[in-house]
Amino acid sequence: MTATGSKRSLWKRIRWLLFALAAGLLLWLGFRPQPVEVDTARIERGTLRVTVDEDGETRIREPYLISAPLAGRLIRVELEPGDSIVKGQVLAAIDPGEPGLLDVRSQAEAEARLKAAEAALRRAQSQAEIARAEVEKAERYVERDRQRLAEGNITAPLLADTEHALRISRGNETAAQSALDIARFEKEQAQAALLHSREIAEDETAGRQFEVVSPIDGVVLRRFQESATTIPAAERILEIGNPEDLEIRIDVLSEDAVKIRPGQRVYLENWGGPESLGAHIRRVEPSAFTKVSALGVDEQRVWVFADFDETGPPASSPLNPEIPSGGRTLLGDGYRVEARVIVWEKDGILKAPSGALFRHGREGDWAVYTVREGRAALTVVTRGRDNGIETEIVAGVTEGEQVVLHPGDRVEDGVTVRKRETDD
C-alpha cells in the first residue's frame, strides 16, 4: 500500500468517527431529560396575619322607628328618605277625628302605654347609671395601671387591655344614654297622646291634630307611610337615624367566632373607595342562628359588631352636603363591605406561599420542593399558622431559599427544573 492510499484510508476513518460522534451527540440532545419549567418563590421573613374574611354591612347604631302614638287619620307625609331633620321638627301629624264609642277603652290603653313608657324610662335610667359607674371604675383602673407601668410593676400589654376596657365602657355609656333618650321620648309621646285624648273627650269640637316630632338630628332612612290614610295606634310611619353614627355588622361561622375577641382590628375592603377602612371589634353575640348557605347547607352563624376607628373629626357630614364627602362618610345604612378580622398577627415570621406546601409520605408530613443547583430537592418542613395565602415555616428551610409553587406530577426529587419565563 502506498503512502497516498494510507492517508486516504486514515481520513476516511476520521470522517466516519466524526460522523458517529455528531450522530451520538444529536441523539443525546434529542433524548436527554428536559428541565421542567416551574414557578418559584423565595422563603422570607415578614409579618403574618391570620384573618377571618366575611361580608358585612354598615348599620346606623341607634335607628329610631317613628310610629303612631294613637289611632286616627295620618296627614300626608312630605318627608322623603335622605331628607335632613332636626330635633323637635314635626315629622307627621295625626287627626284623631271624632271620639268613637270605645273612648273608655282607648283612654285605658293610652294610660297603659304611658305606664309602660315610664317603666322603660326607669330601666333606662338604671342602665345609664350602671354604665357611668363602669366608666368611673375603668378610669380608675387605667390611672392605677399607668402608675404601675411607670414603676415597672406591669407590662405594656396589660395597660393596653385596661385602656381597651375603658373604651368599651365608654361605648356602653353612650349606648345607654341613647337608650335613655329614646325612653324619655317615648314617655313624652305616650303622655302627650293621653292628654290629647282627654282634651278631645272633654271638648269634642276640639279637632286638634297630634304632631309627632323628631327626637334627634339626623336624616330620614325609610318611609313606611306616604299618602293620607287612617292608621291604627303603633303603626310604623318613618325610620330616622344619625348617618354619622355607623357600626359594622358581620355574620361569621360559629367556628370562626370563637377566635374573635373585642378589640381585634378589622380592615374593610371593596366598599367602593380605593383605600381600606379601619375598625375594631366591639361585641361578639353569645348566641348563634342558622343560615342556609348558597350550596343549601345549614350553617351556624354569629353576629359580630365592629366600630370604625376614630381617626379625627369626619371629613364631611351628610347633614351638610356643601362639604365634599370622603372616606367612611360616603357610607350609609345597609352598605355592603368586605371585612377582614385579624385574629392573629406576628412580625419576623419565616413564611412561604401556601401553594408551595403539600402532603408527603404515609405520615402525612408537610413538604416543599426547594431549588438547589438547578434541581428540585424534596424537603420536609414543619408548618405553623396559615392564612390561606402564606404559611408559617417553623423548621426545614432557611430564609432566602427558592421553593417550587404548585408542583405538578413532573416535579420529583432530583429532577432538573428551570424557572418559567413570564411575559411582562
Query: Which residues, given as ranges, of the chain have pLDDT below 70?
Result: 1-8, 26-33, 97-107, 192-208, 311-329, 422-424
Whole-number Å distance between alpha carbons of 393 and 379: 12
Locate 317 and state its grid cell.
Answer: 357630614
pLDDT of residue 209: 78
- For 383-407, how does the pLDDT look when each residue is reduced to its tens digit (9 = 90+)? 999 988 999 999 999 999 999 999 9
Spatial neighbors of 224 by CB under 8 A, at least 6 apart, are 236, 237, 238, 239
Query: Contact at 8 Å (CB) between 281 and 303?
Result: no
pLDDT of residue 314: 39
Q: Which residues pair with 60 in a beta bridge?
A: 246
pLDDT of residue 323: 34
Domain ranges of the chain: 36-47+347-419, 51-58+244-312+328-344, 63-93+207-241, 98-206
With 0-12 / 13-18 / 19 or more C-beta atoms within 10 angstroms meaning exposed / middle / buried, residue 234 is exposed
Query: Contact at 8 Å (CB) between 57 and 248?
Result: yes
SS3 273: coil
pLDDT of residue 129: 87
Whole-number Å distance between alpha carbons of 353 and 401: 12
The CB density around residue 304, as the number of other CB atoms within 10 Å, is: 26
CATH 1.10.150.120 fits 51-58+244-312+328-344, yes or no: no
Spatial neighbors of 300 by CB under 8 A, at least 6 apart, are 253, 254, 288, 289, 290, 291
pLDDT of residue 364: 81
CATH architecture of 63-93+207-241: Beta Barrel (2.40)
CATH 2.40.420.20 fits 36-47+347-419, yes or no: yes
Sheet with strand 64-67: strands edge to edge: 64-67, 236-241, 218-223, 84-85
Alpha helices in 35-102 (DSSP H): none
The reply to whether 36-47+347-419 and 63-93+207-241 are identical in fold is no
pLDDT of residue 211: 87
- Which of 342, 92, 360, 65 has its CA nearest to residue 228? 92
